Amino acid sequence: MSLFTKSLSKTSFLTLCLGSSIGLYSSAAVSEVESDPWEGVNRITYGFNKGVDLVVLRPLAKGYEFVTPDPVEKGVHNFFSNLSDVGSLVNNLLQLKGDASAHDFARIMLNTTFGLGGILDVATPMGSPKSGEDFGQTLGYWGVGSGPYLVLPFLGPSSVRDGFAKIPDSYTNVWGQAVDHVPTRNTGYGLEVLDARVGLFPLEKLISGDEYSFVRDAYLQRREFSVRDGRMDTGFDASDF
């Protein structure tokens, strides 16, 4: 799979985790998917990312998965997932979604306290699933179009809107903001990236046909689906708040 990511953007990495949801909506579900006018350049970047992934990231992720006990691997995943809920909380507040904001706050409190700092995910079994909001979704909620599809070096599938949104998203990265010790911070970044890459292994089997086109269409559909909070309607709906 063509994807290699830096620590700045776990979100862009995880947005490929969508194969299981593609069958949930037809082309009518996304009536305004932007075109890909930069396909030539995007394909070159995609090929570069795939090469880096195959040579560097994928082998490292395979090694990490092999040597790390499942409970430890799950704990690492839960820990960084809990930290990312802070970004979800901020973006739900920016979208004026009171209930969703309260939901995110409850998740953070439950997992941070009863979940031993987030190592255990106690919120999801209690009926409080992850919302996964980011600034790209916030911009989309307020009517900002995605713009053309864009493959970013190292960061993977994106769009003009989502690429810009990675900058404010970096300020809600709790690990990056809170940990001053550079070696510790970078180690955490590395673990976060490896955890995300391991999560993509089962989804690689879902890719069919032209890989570039499959990933592009799946990414755009998934992002539109996320911006609309799973709604099948079209157009901006300000009545949600």
Domain assignment of residue 23, yes or no? yes
**Domain-embedded: residue 4:** no
Residue 5 lies in a domain: no
> Is residue 190 situated within a structural domain?
yes
Tens-of-pLDDT digits for all 241 residues of the chain?
A: 443 333 333 433 333 444 333 333 334 333 334 479 999 999 999 999 999 999 999 999 999 999 999 999 999 999 999 999 999 999 999 999 999 999 999 999 999 999 999 999 999 999 999 999 999 999 999 999 999 999 999 999 999 999 999 999 999 999 999 999 999 999 999 999 999 999 999 988 899 889 999 999 999 999 999 999 877 554 444 334 3
- Two structure tokens written together for 75: 């704990």
pLDDT score of 100: 95
**pLDDT number for residue 205:** 86
The total domain count for the chain is 1
Assigned domain for 3 exists: no
Asked if residue 237 is part of any domain, the answer here is no
Whole-prediction pTM = 0.80
What's the confidence (pLDDT) of residue 2? 40
Look up the domain containing 206 and give its range: 10-228
Residue 171 is assigned to a structural domain of this protein: yes
Distances (CA, A) of 125 to 59, 129, 179, 192: 33, 8, 29, 23
In a domain, 1, yes or no: no
* pLDDT reported for residue 233: 52
